């Protein structure tokens, strides 16, 4: 499959999300295994790496900077601001903070540049829109970073079509990133079309349904075995009420992938890729073997009827549960698909 475009950058059809190398999903890999995975991705042709100040509270950026810094000219580097970690002071508990103020954006960028060991970030996203701050102000601060030569292009994450249009009127938005997969279709309500109207690339995170579409959790016992800090434990679709309804879909989906001669993960990625040449999925993984399996999807040519059947099997109407719990839903600005 041919390379894709994110604004001025030519990138591999599938990028690498770097969150779960140190954050959010179970026990992180060892430092050596994480380094091995990043270098393997580069050697296998990945040219788009996506991280954030939030991931591991700076650990992901530090890892990417240390390992990939010597190869900086070989890939497009994306990171994010606007959602960071607050250490706490004895009266305030530590935790993540959404802060889209210009002051926070500038400070976060300086920290990201140091950790990433670079003088410029190719694509810098506002990780979440801080609804206390007009989007125009946050984007204005990002635009200042572009003018200062610290950022080449800017993006937004988890925003609605209306917010995208407001932001784009202040400064051109290069990419919009949000969750998109067979089982999460929110972008189809309005954002995908808005991106196309404005010439904005769409970056799809969690294209494997947080492991569900990769057949990584084939039973309720597997879900129950997730570590306490795994973020999926708080997501409705992985709760007892909804997972029981989603499990039968997985069996049928697994059979469809076998019929097509590919793995479940490859079918999921092939479906996302087929939704438009302007879409770049960024699956994450801690396994070189899984990485190799994922990247094989970019050369996979599946019959249109297989992709159609996959979409008819797993979609908004058939999946049980919302993608986020109430807190997560309050934090995003995306158009909502009712569960």
pLDDT tens digits for range 295-316:
999 999 999 999 999 999 999 9
324 is catalytic: no
Tell me the average pLDDT across 121-149: 98
Q: What distances in angstroms separate CA 91 from CA 85, 87, 96, one per listed residue?
A: 16, 11, 15
Q: Which residue(s) pair with 86 in the sheet?
A: 95
The pLDDT, as a whole number, for residue 84 is 85
Which of the residue ranges 15-19, 27-31, 137-141 would you say has the lowest mean pLDDT?
Answer: 27-31
Give backbone dihedrals phi and psi of 39, rounded to 5 degrees, phi first.
-70, -35
SS3 84: strand
What is the bridge-based pairing of β-strands 95-98 and 83-86?
antiparallel
Helix axes 135-147, 161-170, angle to 10 degrees: 40
Tell me the average pLDDT across 223-237: 94
DSSP 8-state secondary structure symbol assigned to residue 67: H
The pLDDT, as a whole number, for residue 339 is 46
Tell me the average pLDDT across 333-339: 80
Tell me the average pLDDT across 264-268: 98
Nearest alpha-carbon partner for 246 in 318, 324, 339, 317: 318
Residue 103 contacts by C-beta under 8 Å, 6 or more apart in sequence?
A: none
Confidence of residue 138 (pLDDT cuts 50, 70, 90): very high
For the cut 70, the answer to whether the pLDDT of residue 102 exceeds it is: yes
The pLDDT, as a whole number, for residue 90 is 56
Distance CA 46, CA 39 (A): 10
Q: Which position among 25, 55, 125, 180 bears the catalytic label?
A: 55
Q: Count other Cβ atoms within 10 Å, centred on residue 325.
A: 15
For the cut 50, the answer to whether the pLDDT of residue 78 exceeds it is: yes
Distance CA 223, CA 247 (A): 11
Tell me the average pLDDT across 33-60: 96
For the cut 50, the answer to whether the pLDDT of residue 25 exceeds it is: yes
The answer to whether the beta carbons of residues 296 and 302 sit under 8 Å apart is: no
Tell me the average pLDDT across 67-91: 86
For the cut 60, the answer to whether the pLDDT of residue 88 exceeds it is: no
Tell me the average pLDDT across 175-199: 98
Distance CA 99, CA 105 (A): 8
- Check: pTM over 0.75? Answer yes or no: yes
Nearest alpha-carbon partner for 328 in 128, 180, 54, 176: 128
For the cut 70, the answer to whether the pLDDT of residue 338 exceeds it is: no
Give backbone dihedrals phi and psi of 204, rounded to 5 degrees, phi first.
-100, 110
- Residue percentage of the chain with pLDDT more than 90: 91
DSSP 8-state secondary structure symbol assigned to residue 278: T
Confidence of residue 181 (pLDDT cuts 50, 70, 90): very high
Confidence of residue 26 (pLDDT cuts 50, 70, 90): confident
For the cut 90, the answer to whether the pLDDT of residue 89 exceeds it is: no
The pLDDT, as a whole number, for residue 87 is 61
Q: Count other Cβ atoms within 10 Å, centred on residue 176.
A: 28
The pLDDT, as a whole number, for residue 60 is 96
């Amino acid at each position: 499959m041919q390379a894709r475009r994110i604004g001025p950058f030519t990138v591999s059809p599938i990028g690498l999300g770097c969150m779960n190398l140190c954050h959010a999903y179970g026990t992180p890999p060892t430092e050596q295994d994480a380094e091995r995975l990043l270098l393997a991705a580069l050697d296998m042709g990945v040219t788009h790496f996506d991280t954030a100040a939030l991931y591991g509270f700076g650990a992901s950026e530090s890892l990417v900077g240390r390992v990939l810094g010597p190869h900086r000219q070989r890939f497009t580097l994306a990171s994010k601001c606007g959602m960071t970690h607050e250490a706490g002071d004895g009266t305030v508990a530590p935790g993540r903070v959404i802060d889209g103020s210009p002051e926070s954006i500038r400070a976060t960028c300086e920290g990201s540049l140091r950790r990433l060991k670079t003088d410029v970030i190719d694509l810098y996203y506002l990780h979440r829109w801080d609804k206390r701050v007009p989007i125009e102000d946050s984007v204005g601060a990002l635009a200042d970073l572009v003018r200062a030569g610290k950022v080449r292009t800017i993006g937004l994450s988890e925003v609605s079509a209306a917010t995208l249009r407001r932001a784009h009127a202040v400064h051109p938005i290069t990419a919009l990133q949000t969750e998109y997969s067979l089982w999460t279709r929110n972008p189809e309500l309005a954002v995908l079309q808005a991106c196309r109207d404005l010439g904005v690339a769409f970056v799809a995170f969690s294209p494997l349904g947080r492991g569900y579409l990769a057949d990584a959790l084939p039973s309720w016992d597997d879900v129950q075995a997730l570590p306490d800090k795994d973020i999926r434990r708080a997501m409705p679709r992985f709760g007892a009420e909804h997972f029981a309804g989603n499990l039968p879909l997985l069996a049928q989906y697994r059979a469809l992938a076998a019929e097509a001669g590919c793995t479940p993960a490859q079918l999921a990625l092939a479906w996302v890729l087929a939704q438009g040449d302007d879409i770049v999925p960024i699956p994450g993984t801690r396994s070189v073997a899984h990485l190799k399996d994922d990247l094989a999807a970019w050369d996979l040519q599946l019959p249109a009827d297989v992709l159609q059947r996959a979409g008819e099997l797993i979609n908004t109407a058939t999946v049980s549960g919302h993608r986020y719990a109430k807190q997560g839903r309050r934090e995003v600005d995306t158009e909502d698909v009712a569960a």
